[in-house]
C-alpha cells in the first residue's frame, strides 16, 4: 500500500510537472523572455477577442495571449477552482459576480460592451417571421435558451414584458446551440444575440425587434487577483475598454460599454 501511495504521488507530481511546464509564464526554450497572458472570455467574444489578442501581441512583442473561450458560468467555475487566468471577460454580470464575490477579481469589474437579442431565421425565412409576436404563432418552431443561461433570461424578460407566451420546441444551454438549430433549418426561428447573427453570415437572416431593448446584457471584464503579471493584464483590459477595442466590438455588433 505504501508502495502504491508512492507511485500515486509520483504520478501526480509528474502530471503536475508536465502541466506546470505547459502553463509556465516564461518559456526559456523560446529564447529568452516570452511571457504568456491568459484571458478567459465568454464564447460570444470569440471573434472580437481573437482580433484584439493579435493587436495586443503586436503592441507588446514577447507576450503571447492565450485565449480560453467557453460559457461564462463554466469559466467562472474554472476560475473558482483555481484555473490559472489573468483576465476574465464574462457575458453577464451574474457570473462576474460569482468571481468577484469570491474575492478573485482585482478591483471593480468594468462593463465594456452590451448585447441585445435578435430573432434569427434560416436563410429564406420560410415561416415568415417579421416580429416578436410572430414567434407565438401556432406551428412555428421556435428555439430559445433555457432560463438558467443569460440569453434565456433575456428572452423570458422580453416575452413577459410583451405578454407574449412563447412555446419553444427546445430550450438550449447556449446561444450557439440555438444558432445551430436555426442554421441547420430545424428551427423556424431562434432568439440569439445580435452579434451571433452577425457572425453567422448569410446562413441566417436577422429580424430585429424594437422590444429587444427591454433586456440588455452587460459584459464585464476584470483583472484577476491571481494574475501573474497584473500590469500586462491591465494593459489588455485597457485595450478592450479603449477606443481600439470598442471599435472592434462595435464591428462585431456589440453595444458600447459604460465608462
Partner 1 sequence: MNTRTYTGLPRWLYGLAVLAALVVVLPLAAIVARVNWVDFLPLVTSESALSALGLSLRTSVASTLLCIVLGVPLALVLARGRFPLQGLLRSLVLLPLVLPPVVGGIALLYTFGRQGLLGGTLEVLGLQIAFSTTAVVLAQTFVALPFLVVSLEGAVRTGGQRYEAVAATLGAPPGVVFRRVTLPLMLPGLASGAVLSFARSLGEFGATLTFAGSLQGVTRTLPLEIYLQRETDPDAAVALSLVLVAVAVAVVALAYRRPAGRGVRQASTERATASAAPGGTVP
Q: Kindly tell me which residue out of 68, 125, 164, 170 binds partner 1, with binding defined by CB under 8 A.
A: 170
Question: Does 148 sit near partner 1 (CB under 8 A)?
Answer: yes
Nearer to partner 1, 42 or 149 (CB): 149
User: 15 is written with which cell numbers?
Assistant: 502530471
Contact stretch for partner 1 (CB under 8 A) within 127-135, 175-183, 211-219, 247-255:
175-183
Alpha-carbon distance 254 to 246, whole Å? 9
Per DSSP, the residues of 170-200 read EEESSHHHHHHHHHTTSSSEEEEEHHHHHHH
Of the candidates 86, 106, 134, 172, which one interacts with partner 1 according to CB under 8 A?
172
Q: Binding of partner 1 at residue 19 (CB under 8 A)?
A: no
71 binds partner 1 (CB under 8 A): yes
Tell me which of 134, 171, 196, 211 binds partner 1, using CB under 8 A: 171
Residue identified by cell 451574474 is: 94
Per-residue interface string for the shown chain with partner 1, residues 179-208, x marking contact by CB under 8 A? -xx--xxx----------------------
Does residue 255 bind partner 1 (CB under 8 A)? Answer: no
Q: Does 8 bind partner 1 (CB under 8 A)?
A: yes
Q: Is 235 helix (H, G, I), strand (E, B) or coil?
A: helix
Q: Does 73 bind partner 1 (CB under 8 A)?
A: yes
Residue 107, sorted as left (phi over 0), alpha (psi -120 to 50) or beta, turns out to be left
The span from the CA of 216 to the CA of 51, in Å, is 24
Under the binding rule (CB under 8 A), the answer on residue 11 touching partner 1 is: yes
Element (H, E) at 5: helix 2-23
Contact partners, residue 244, CB within 8 Å, separation at least 6? 52, 55
Least spacing, CB of residue 86 vs partner 1, in Å: 25
Q: Which of 149, 155, 189, 233 binds partner 1 (CB under 8 A)?
A: 149
| Nearest-approach distance from CB 8 to partner 1, in angstroms | 6
Quick check: 120 binds partner 1 (CB under 8 A)?
no
| Longest distance between any two alpha carbons in the chain, whole Å | 70
Is there binding between residue 131 and partner 1 (CB under 8 A)?
no
- C-alpha–C-alpha distance, residues 2 and 113, integer Å: 55
Q: Does 93 bind partner 1 (CB under 8 A)?
A: no
What is the torsion angle, in degrees rounded to the nearest 10, for the CA atoms of residue 158, residue 160, residue 165 and residue 167? 60
Which spans of this chain sit near partner 1 (rule: CB under 8 A)?
Answer: 3-4, 6-8, 11, 71, 73, 77, 141, 143, 146, 148-149, 168-173, 177, 180-181, 184-186
Amino acid at each position: 500500500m505504501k508502495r502504491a501511495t508512492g507511485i500515486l504521488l509520483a504520478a501526480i507530481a509528474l502530471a503536475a510537472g508536465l502541466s506546470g511546464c505547459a502553463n509556465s509564464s516564461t518559456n526559456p526554450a523560446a529564447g529568452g523572455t516570452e511571457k504568456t497572458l491568459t484571458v478567459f472570455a465568454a464564447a460570444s467574444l470569440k471573434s472580437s477577442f481573437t482580433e484584439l489578442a493579435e493587436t495586443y501581441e503586436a503592441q507588446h512583442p514577447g507576450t503571447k495571449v492565450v485565449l480560453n473561450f467557453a460559457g461564462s458560468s463554466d469559466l467562472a467555475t474554472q476560475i473558482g477552482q483555481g484555473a490559472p487566468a489573468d483576465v476574465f471577460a464574462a457575458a453577464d454580470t451574474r457570473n462576474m459576480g460569482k468571481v468577484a464575490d469570491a474575492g478573485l477579481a482585482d478591483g471593480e469589474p468594468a462593463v465594456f460592451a452590451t448585447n441585445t437579442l435578435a430573432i434569427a431565421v434560416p436563410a429564406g425565412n420560410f415561416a415568415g417571421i417579421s416580429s416578436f409576436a410572430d414567434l407565438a404563432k401556432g406551428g412555428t418552431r421556435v428555439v430559445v435558451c433555457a432560463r438558467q443561461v443569460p440569453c434565456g433570461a433575456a428572452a423570458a424578460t422580453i416575452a413577459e414584458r410583451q405578454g407574449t407566451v412563447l412555446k419553444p420546441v427546445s430550450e438550449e444551454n447556449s446561444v450557439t446551440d440555438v444558432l445551430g438549430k436555426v442554421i441547420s433549418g430545424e428551427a423556424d426561428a431562434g432568439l440569439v444575440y445580435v452579434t451571433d447573427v452577425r457572425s453567422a453570415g448569410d446562413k441566417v437572416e436577422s429580424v430585429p425587434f424594437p422590444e429587444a431593448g427591454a433586456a440588455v446584457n452587460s459584459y464585464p471584464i476584470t483583472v484577476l487577483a491571481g494574475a501573474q503579471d497584473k500590469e500586462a493584464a491591465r494593459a489588455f483590459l485597457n485595450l478592450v475598454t479603449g477606443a481600439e477595442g470598442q471599435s472592434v466590438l462595435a464591428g462585431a455588433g456589440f453595444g458600447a460599454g459604460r465608462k
